[in-house]
Chain A
Amino acid sequence: MNAWLLVAPLGVLAFAGLGIMLIDAFSPGRAELAGVTTTALLMAGLISVVALLSGVDPGELPRSLRAFIAVDHAGLYFDVVICAGAALSALLAGGYLKEHHLERGEYYVLLIFSALGAMILARAVDLITLFIGLETMSLGVYCMIAYRRTSIRATEGALKYFLLGSFAAAILLFGTALIYGATGHTDLAGIGNVLAAGGADARLVLLALALIVVGLAFKVSAVPFHMWTPDAYEGAPTPTTTFMAVAVKTAGFAIMLRMLITAFGDPLSASPETGWPPLIAGIAILSMIYGNVAGLAQTSVKRMLAYSSIAHAGYILVAVAVSYAAREQAIASVLYYLLAYTVSNVLAFGSLILLGSRGKEAVTYEDLAGAGRRHPLAALPLVIGVLSLMGFPPTAGFFAKYYVLTTALSIGGGMVWVAIILVLSSALGAYYYLKVIVFLFMKEPQAGAPKAVPMRSGYVAFALVLAGYFVIKMGVTPEPYLRMAVDAAQSFIS
């Protein structure tokens, strides 16, 4: 029976989603939905962790199921990251929605189904499952962004993300249709074999590759296709921004890896000169530079974090670009980076929620002015989060960047320059991260401005403690998480 454990997380989330829908419909307002959602997500995450550690072999799963959903350890690892991200944002939502009087059950239903979509996308080994996962996830996120109906900023952010999102999905779909036409297979392994055997028409493959990369780059908000990110992140309620920054990005990178490694892993399309690595490296460089440069000029912390997410996408893309050669190490660094990025992002956004109270979100730097001195304990998570995002030594962020750097340097050649740009741009980025700490402790709030007072919310506090614990633990003792990432990477390649 334990083979079904590999697919259990998806089942748990699906039934949890339906259950919460019914609970919300039949007993509105009474059930503590935030708690229910988080427990469901954590349960799903735990099942995948148990399956990952116990090394279950997917022997008896029916052939038809394995043709569509990956049952390897990488899939489980992505489940863990996505479930963790979704559970923490559900906790933040528990506090945030009550504070801003948006307490409606639909939010949690959307959250669970988007998390389910993200997990399907991360485990997609067939183009059909890819498209279904992508759309399920994005539709849920569009609705969550536009959740605060009365505010024009939320609706506008949702509209921008929706229009660009579906446009990019259509481009991605066109690419997948072309690759299906060229190879006759819709499952990634089948495509990879045909491309390796060189049977496909080169022009079609190249065009398909370009379109697919565009679609995926959009999802992970890499530079040329990042226009929606600042608006969507800022317009959306903060728990949704956390979920978008965390789970959506993880799923985007997961499918990018699967697509580029298994489908386009053949020498022609993956060659360092003419294949996708230079393309990805170029995008990575652009994202890193633009993300950090634009981040400097921001007055709103939330918008700054949006640009920082673009920069981090650049850092991960560096590892992806390198994965054509040092496969296992590059993939492991991407996996580790995603987990580190998840927890530190939750810390950053969670503390923004914590510091904003009585219906007024702490969004701009001025809101945070002096908050550190007045409530040091409430400002601590923000400090840790920012340090981790910056890549300061004792935190998870530092080690993740270090791991990506060593992989890039081990390849040598062109990648050395990319590594140098990575170091320079993250140093540049340190400025706006430190600016937060400066405002927290050194600056005094203007005379009339409302002072940010931390709100009493068990959910948010618990989420921040959990995330803070992981950020510190992964920074201090990265070994167990690294081993898990490497083991997942190995099963990915075999």
Chain B
Amino acid sequence: MFWEYLPVFVMLLVAVLVAVGLFVLTSSVGPKKMTPEKAIPYEGGSETTGAEGLRLSVKFFLTAILFVVFDIEAVFLYPWAGLFSRLGWIGLVEMLVFLSVLGVTLAYAWKKGAFEWEK
């Protein structure tokens, strides 16, 4: 069972080798003149206080929760989709109810203004 995944690991190994190789090459070939001016974060050339002042609105949290709601449904949808032809009408009705409940949540979130992002 494990051998099936070997090619994947080999591929990823090659990816790692490429990445590490490039890094090593860059550090050996590239110049190393680090000056304090180079180190400050770029913000259009004017002096900056870095990124700690960033306040983020709650709509990011809302999107994350909506993502959780709809992504977990994949955990249930994929096994059903795989066996769909062998499940008969019980499977169909069950999943239509499942998807319509999701439709209701989507309509609810839509009407409650979860998707008005900016204004």
A–B contact with Cβ pairs below 8 Å: the answer is: yes
How many Å from the CB of A162 to the closest CB on chain B? Answer: 16
Task: Name A's B-contacting residues (CB within 8 A).
Answer: 18, 21-22, 25-26
Q: Give the interface SS of chain B, mostly helix, strand, loop or mixed.
A: helix
Give per-residue flags for B34-59: 1 if the beta carbon is below 8 A from chain A beta carbons, else 0: 00000000000000000000000000
> Cα distance A26–B111 when bound, in Å?
7
Residues on B with beta carbons closer than 8 Å to the beta carbon of A18: 101, 104
Give per-residue flags for B79-119: 1 if the beta carbon is below 8 A from chain A beta carbons, else 0: 00000000000000000000001001101100110000000
> Cα distance A21–B111 when bound, in Å?
11
Closest to A18 in B: B104
- Contact yes or no, B101 A25, CB < 8 A: no
Query: Given contacts A21-B104, A25-B108, could you give 12 more A-B pairs where the C-beta distance is less than 8 Å?
Result: A18-B101, A18-B104, A21-B105, A21-B108, A22-B104, A22-B107, A22-B108, A25-B107, A25-B111, A25-B112, A26-B107, A26-B111
How many Å from the CB of B72 to the closest CB on chain A? Answer: 13
Residues on B with beta carbons closer than 8 Å to the beta carbon of A26: 107, 111
Sampled A-B contacts (9; CB under 8 Å): A18-B104, A21-B104, A21-B108, A22-B104, A22-B108, A25-B108, A25-B112, A26-B107, A26-B111
Residues on A with beta carbons closer than 8 Å to the beta carbon of B105: 21
> Cα distance A22–B111 when bound, in Å?
9
Residues on B with beta carbons closer than 8 Å to the beta carbon of A22: 104, 107-108
Task: Name B's A-contacting residues (CB within 8 A).
Answer: 101, 104-105, 107-108, 111-112
How many Å from the CB of A128 to the closest CB on chain B? Answer: 13
Residues on A with beta carbons closer than 8 Å to the beta carbon of B108: 21-22, 25
> Cα distance A21–B103 when bound, in Å?
12
How many Å from the CB of A116 to the closest CB on chain B? Answer: 12
Closest to B111 in A: A25
> Cα distance A18–B104 when bound, in Å?
7
> Cα distance A26–B112 when bound, in Å?
9
5 closest A-B pairs by CB: A25-B111, A25-B108, A18-B104, A21-B108, A25-B112
How many Å from the CB of B82 to the closest CB on chain A? Answer: 19
Residues on B with beta carbons closer than 8 Å to the beta carbon of A25: 107-108, 111-112
How many Å from the CB of A70 to the closest CB on chain B? Answer: 21
> Cα distance A22–B105 when bound, in Å?
9
Closest to B108 in A: A25
Residues on B with beta carbons closer than 8 Å to the beta carbon of A21: 104-105, 108
Residues on A with beta carbons closer than 8 Å to the beta carbon of B112: 25
Residues on A with beta carbons closer than 8 Å to the beta carbon of B111: 25-26
> Cα distance A227–B80 when bound, in Å?
43
> Cα distance A22–B104 when bound, in Å?
7
How many Å from the CB of A24 to the closest CB on chain B? Answer: 8
> Cα distance A25–B101 when bound, in Å?
15
How many Å from the CB of B109 to the closest CB on chain A? Answer: 8
How many Å from the CB of B2 to the closest CB on chain A? Answer: 25
Residues on A with beta carbons closer than 8 Å to the beta carbon of B104: 18, 21-22
How many Å from the CB of A20 to the closest CB on chain B? Answer: 10
How many Å from the CB of A21 to the closest CB on chain B? Answer: 5
> Cα distance A21–B112 when bound, in Å?
11
How many Å from the CB of B115 to the closest CB on chain A? Answer: 13
> Cα distance A130–B108 when bound, in Å?
28
> Cα distance A26–B108 when bound, in Å?
8
Closest to B104 in A: A18
Residues on A with beta carbons closer than 8 Å to the beta carbon of B107: 22, 25-26
Task: Tell which of A22, A25, A26 has the most Cβ of chain B within 10 Å.
Answer: A25
> Cα distance A21–B104 when bound, in Å?
8
How many Å from the CB of B9 to the closest CB on chain A? Answer: 31
> Cα distance A22–B101 when bound, in Å?
11
> Cα distance A25–B103 when bound, in Å?
13
How many Å from the CB of A69 to the closest CB on chain B? Answer: 15
How many Å from the CB of B119 to the closest CB on chain A? Answer: 20
How many Å from the CB of B116 to the closest CB on chain A? Answer: 14
Closest to B105 in A: A21
How many Å from the CB of A342 to the closest CB on chain B? Answer: 30
How many Å from the CB of A27 to the closest CB on chain B? Answer: 10
Residues on A with beta carbons closer than 8 Å to the beta carbon of B101: 18
> Cα distance A22–B112 when bound, in Å?
10
How many Å from the CB of B100 to the closest CB on chain A? Answer: 9
How many Å from the CB of A106 to the closest CB on chain B? Answer: 9
> Cα distance A173–B111 when bound, in Å?
36
> Cα distance A298–B101 when bound, in Å?
45
Closest to B101 in A: A18
Closest to A27 in B: B111
Closest to A109 in B: B108
Closest to A26 in B: B111
Task: Tell which of B101, B105, B107, B111 has the most Cβ of chain A within 10 Å.
Answer: B111
Closest to A24 in B: B108
> Cα distance A22–B100 when bound, in Å?
12
> Cα distance A26–B107 when bound, in Å?
9
> Cα distance A153–B2 when bound, in Å?
54
> Cα distance A328–B105 when bound, in Å?
44
Task: Tell which of B105, B107, B108, B112 has the most Cβ of chain A within 10 Å.
Answer: B108
> Cα distance A469–B104 when bound, in Å?
39
> Cα distance A18–B108 when bound, in Å?
10
How many Å from the CB of A12 to the closest CB on chain B? Answer: 15
> Cα distance A132–B16 when bound, in Å?
43
How many Å from the CB of B30 to the closest CB on chain A? Answer: 50
